[in-house]
């Protein structure tokens, strides 16, 4: 109702209409009049009014009929009935039918004004109330929407911890219907192990702890049982609450709370932690690898000198001599020592010298033959694929891998048992679902299974770590599987293990298949071969130079030595024509073997060169050989190995 109130007076007595107009005239109203109910109906079709003063008794259509019509069509219009025949019945009837008030004719001026003012005031108040209600309904709807569409569970709890309210998010997140939770304890949805800490949390909140404090809690989740443990991790916040209760008509105290789903965040955090741990582990292995490689390199030089001295003493000693066997023993011990350094080099991935296409089946058969001779209590069973693809590998290292696995299998079968070796062609497709990510292509699978004691999870996790062993002192160094792992990685392959306590173990190795043809290593003749000519020996270790010179001279060669690459180049420039063979160390400070080789080769393209090293840096020796170097020999070497290698180079046909 805005502006000047409009009042319609309906009375068949024109005098009445006029006197009402006069009586209300001095007030701020717009007065309209109609002489009959029919006229009023017609007037209402095009006009609006706030209040009607209706005469009860009118011809044709009386006041009641018009009242009914108005209440039906224009419920907002307030009606006051007027009649000269005031009776209680008609007054009650009019009020029942929706009239606001009743005036008996004749009425006083004051009374009319009071009743009209009153009616209009009431009408204005009603309109204001309706407008408030509407606005309230809109804001309530807005808040309802916000609460029920919140990604967080929002709830209130009563004094006993029972749900008073919980939003619909509890359904989408946990699978509980919100209505079904009302009246139930909050603990209904809490993981039982967290129930106590939640109770303590709410108690502290009730005593005034702020909403900003939060706690991680596990809630029971009905919607995600397939995703694992049926648990939803939430960040819970709570504060004290006071609410008006319609039921009790008084205030109730309780808890207002929010639970935010952080399951995904926790999972991502855990994944990140795992990745960090893996990275740390990888860095640790890398660092130990570098250390192991360095030790092996220096150790090989020492072994080389011991070996050289023993070889020299044996060279012209009769087998009948009393020291002969002792010297042979020294040689054997050096062999054991160099097997240890070979393991270390395998782990450090620095021992690949001779990569060529080989037949894995052949290597397996050879290794098993050697193994069977020493461990008679173990039955060895072969299941080899006759059409196995070749692999490109260092046969010596693959043999080392096989020996490590066979010895471990035998150690796991103290009372005897069977070890089964299988080979098969496979592809990266069949390796899916493993932890590693193989490059697409063909692979060769080698598996070694035993019927031994097996391993538990904890052991399995650590077996590839260097120096991890469950064997007693003196029985195992814990290097077997570490070097196996390093060698397989170094060959672009993968290794994994399946085992359970008491149920044996199966190691599976995948190596990339090769399309090259298998090549056989050329075997030189045994025994020491004397020779002639001048050899330039280049090594940064005095010990190696000294013993190398002695060995070479024993074989009949003249020897020139250089302590580093620069000296070697200077010597070769001045005396190159007199030098028949260069014996070149691969790893040296300053100019490395590879660079020295290239420089010497540019001085004399026909230069003959034999590489020697305690290790090669990931195939550096192989690369130099590919650039035209004539051969490679690994420290420590025996007199006969050296003589054989030199002979092969200097007496090559062509
Ligand atoms: N086939 C197997 N069955 C049961 N346990 C095994 C098997 N192979 C390895 N293991 C476990 O893994 C550990 C590590 O093996 P690894 O070959 O690296 O070292 P080692 O055999 O203890 O010592 P090393 O090989 O240096 O002499 C072993 O001590 C053993 O506990
Ligand atoms: Mg072992």
- The pair of structure tokens assigned to 525 is 């003749």
- Least-confidence region, from 64-73, 277-286, 465-474: 277-286
d(C-alpha 474, C-alpha 263), whole Å: 49
pTM of the model: 0.55
Give, for ligand 1, the residue of 288, 409, 481, 505 to mutate: max count of ligand atoms closer than 8 Å to Cβ. Answer: 481
In the structure, what pLDDT confidence band is assigned to residue 136 with cuts at 50, 70 and 90? very high
Residue 116 alpha carbon to ligand 1 centre in Å = 106
Task: Please state, in angstroms and rounded to a whole number, the distance separating the CA atoms of residues 469 and 480.
Answer: 9
**Ordered alpha helix ranges (H), 164-255:** 169-174, 178-181, 195-206
Domain that residue 455 falls in: 355-512
Contact by Cβ (8 Å): 646, 640: no
* Statement to judge: residues 99 and 188 lie in one domain: no
User: Is 349 part of a structural domain of the chain?
Assistant: no
Count of domains forming the chain: 4
Whether the CB-CB separation of 614 and 587 falls below 8 Å is answered with yes
Same domain, 654 and 541: yes
Asked if residue 482 has its Cβ within 6 Å of ligand 1, the reply is: yes
Same domain, 473 and 361: yes
Closest C-alpha to ligand 1, atom 1? 409
Q: Is 378 in the pocket of ligand 1 (CB under 6 A)?
A: no
* CB hemisphere CA count around 527 (13 angstroms): 4
CATH of the domain at 25: 3.40.50.2300
- Whole-angstrom distance, CA of residue 60 vs CA of residue 36: 9
**Ligand 2: centre distance to CA 416 (Å):** 17
Pocket lining: 471 vs ligand 1, CB cutoff 6 Å:
yes
Ligand 1 centre distance from Cα of residue 411 (Å)? 8
Residue 228 within any structural domain of the chain: yes
Whether residues 96 and 193 fall in one domain: no
- Identify the CATH number of the domain in which residue 376 sits: 3.30.565.10
pLDDT reading at 320 higher than 70: yes
Q: Pick from 285, 476, 488 the residue to mutate for probing ligand 1's pocket: most ligand atoms within 8 Å of its CB.
A: 476
Residue 243 sits in a domain whose CATH number is 3.30.450.20
Domain co-membership, 498 together with 541? no
Residue 505 beta carbon below 6 angstroms from any ligand 1 atom: yes
* pLDDT single digits (tens) 142-157: 999 999 999 999 999 9
Query: With 70 as the cut, is the pLDDT of residue 558 above it?
Result: yes
Calpha distance 411→541 (Å, rounded): 40
438 and 465 in a single domain? The answer is yes
Q: Which atom of ligand 1 is nearest to the CA of 343?
A: 26
Calpha distance 474→485 (Å, rounded): 22
For β-strands 581-585 and 609-613, DSSP reports them as parallel
**Helix crossing, 63-73 with 37-46: angle to 10°?**
20
Atom 27 (ligand 1): residue with closest C-alpha? 476
Atom of ligand 1 minimally distant from the CA of 507:
1
pLDDT at residue 525, rounded to an integer? 45
CB contact at 8 A, 63 and 36: no
Q: How far apart are CA 138 and CA 373, in angstroms?
A: 92
Tens digits of per-residue pLDDT, 323-348?
999 998 998 889 888 878 877 877 77
Domain identity same for 102 and 30 = yes
Residue 374 CA to ligand 2 center (angstroms) comes to: 16
User: 392-404, pLDDT tens digit by residue?
Assistant: 998 888 998 999 9
Pairing of strands 231-244, 215-220: antiparallel
Pairing mode, if any, of strands 51-55 and 78-83?
parallel
Is 268 part of any domain?
no
Task: Read off the pLDDT of each residue in 59-73 and give the average, rounded to a whole number.
Answer: 93
Burial grade of 444 (CB within 10 A; 0-12, 13-18, 19 or more): buried
489 and 386: one domain?
Answer: yes
> Is 363 close to ligand 1, i.e. is its CB under 6 Å away?
no
Domain annotation covers residue 144: no
Q: What share of the chain has pLDDT > 70, as a percent? A: 94
Q: In what order do the strands lie in the sheet with 631-634?
A: 558-562, 534-538, 581-585, 609-613, 631-634
Q: Scanning the structure block, which residue is given the tokens 């090559």?
A: 652
Domain membership of residue 276 (yes or no) is: no
Cα 218 from Cα 220, distance rounded (Å): 7
Residue 66 CB less than 6 A away from ligand 1: no
Mark whether 557 and 618 lie in a shared domain.
yes
């Amino acid at each position: 109702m805005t502006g000047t109130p409009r009042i319609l007076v309906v009375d068949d007595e024109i005098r009445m209409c006029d006197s009402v107009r006069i009586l209300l005239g001095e007030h701020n109203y717009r007065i309209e009049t109609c002489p009959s109910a029919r006229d009023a109906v017609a007037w209402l079709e095009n006009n609006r009014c706030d209040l009607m003063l209706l005469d009860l008794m009118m011809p044709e259509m009386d006041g009641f009929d018009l009242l009914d019509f108005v209440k039906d069509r224009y419920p907002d219009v307030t009606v006051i009935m007027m009649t000269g025949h005031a009776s209680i019945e008609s007054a009650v009837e009019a009020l029942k039918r929706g009239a606001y008030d009743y005036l008996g004719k004749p009425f006083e001026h004051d009374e009319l004004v009071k009743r009209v003012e009153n009616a209009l005031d009431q009408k204005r108040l009603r309109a204001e109330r309706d407008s408030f209600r509407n606005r309230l309904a809109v804001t309530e709807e807005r808040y309802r929407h916000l609460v029920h569409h919140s990604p967080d569970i929002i709830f209130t709890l009563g004094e006993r911890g029972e749900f008073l309210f919980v939003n619909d998010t509890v359904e989408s997140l946990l699978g509980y219907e919100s209505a079904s939770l009302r009246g139930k304890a909050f603990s209904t949805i809490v993981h039982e192990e967290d129930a106590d800490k939640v109770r303590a949390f709410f108690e502290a909140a009730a005593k005034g702890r702020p909403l900003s404090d939060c706690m991680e809690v596990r809630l029971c989740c009905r919607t995600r049982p397939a995703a694992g443990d049926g648990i939803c991790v939430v960040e819970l916040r709570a504060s004290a609450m006071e609410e008006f209760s319609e039921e009790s008509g008084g205030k109730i105290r309780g808890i207002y709370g929010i639970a935010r789903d952080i399951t995904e965040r926790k999972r991502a955090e855990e994944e990140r932690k795992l990745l960090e741990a893996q990275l740390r582990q990888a860095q640790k292995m890398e660092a130990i690898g570098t250390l192991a490689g360095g030790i092996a390199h220096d150790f090989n030089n020492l072994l080389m000198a011991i070996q050289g001295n023993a070889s020299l003493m044996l060279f012209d000693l009769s087998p009948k001599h009393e020291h002969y066997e002792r010297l042979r023993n020294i040689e054997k011990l050096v062999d054991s020592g160099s097997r240890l350094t070979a393991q270390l080099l395998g782990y450090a991935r620095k021992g690949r010298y001779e990569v060529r296409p080989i037949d894995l089946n052949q290597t397996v058969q050879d290794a098993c033959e050697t193994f069977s001779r020493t461990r008679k209590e173990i039955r060895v069973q072969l299941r080899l694929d006759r059409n196995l693809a070749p692999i490109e590998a260092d046969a010596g290292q693959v043999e080392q891998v096989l020996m490590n696995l066979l010895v471990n299998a035998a150690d796991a079968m103290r009372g005897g048992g069977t070890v089964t070796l299988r080979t098969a062609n496979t592809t990266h497709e069949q390796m899916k679902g493993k932890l590693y990510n193989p490059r697409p292509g063909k692979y060769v699978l080698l598996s070694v299974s035993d019927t031994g004691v097996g391993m538990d999870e904890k052991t399995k996790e650590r077996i590839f770590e260097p120096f991890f062993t469950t064997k007693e002192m003196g029985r195992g160094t814990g290097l077997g599987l570490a070097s196996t792992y390093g060698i397989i990685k170094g060959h672009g392959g993968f290794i994994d293990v399946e085992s359970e306590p008491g149920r044996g173990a199966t190691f599976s190795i995948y190596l990339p298949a090769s399309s090259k043809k298998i090549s056989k290593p050329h075997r030189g003749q045994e025994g020491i071969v004397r020779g002639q000519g001048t050899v330039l020996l280049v090594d940064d270790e005095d010990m190696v130079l000294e013993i190398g010179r002695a060995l070479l001279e024993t074989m009949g060669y003249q020897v020139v030595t250089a302590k580093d690459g620069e000296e070697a180049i200077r010597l070769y420039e001045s005396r190159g024509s007199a030098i028949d063979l260069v014996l070149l160390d691969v790893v040296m400070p300053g100019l490395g073997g590879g660079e020295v080789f290239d420089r010497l080769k540019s001085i004399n393209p026909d230069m003959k060169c034999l590489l020697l090293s305690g290790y090669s840096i990931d195939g550096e020796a192989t690369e130099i050989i590919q650039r035209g170097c004539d051969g490679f020999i690994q420290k420590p070497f025996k007199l006969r190995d050296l003589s054989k290698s030199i002979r092969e180079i200097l007496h090559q046909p062509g």
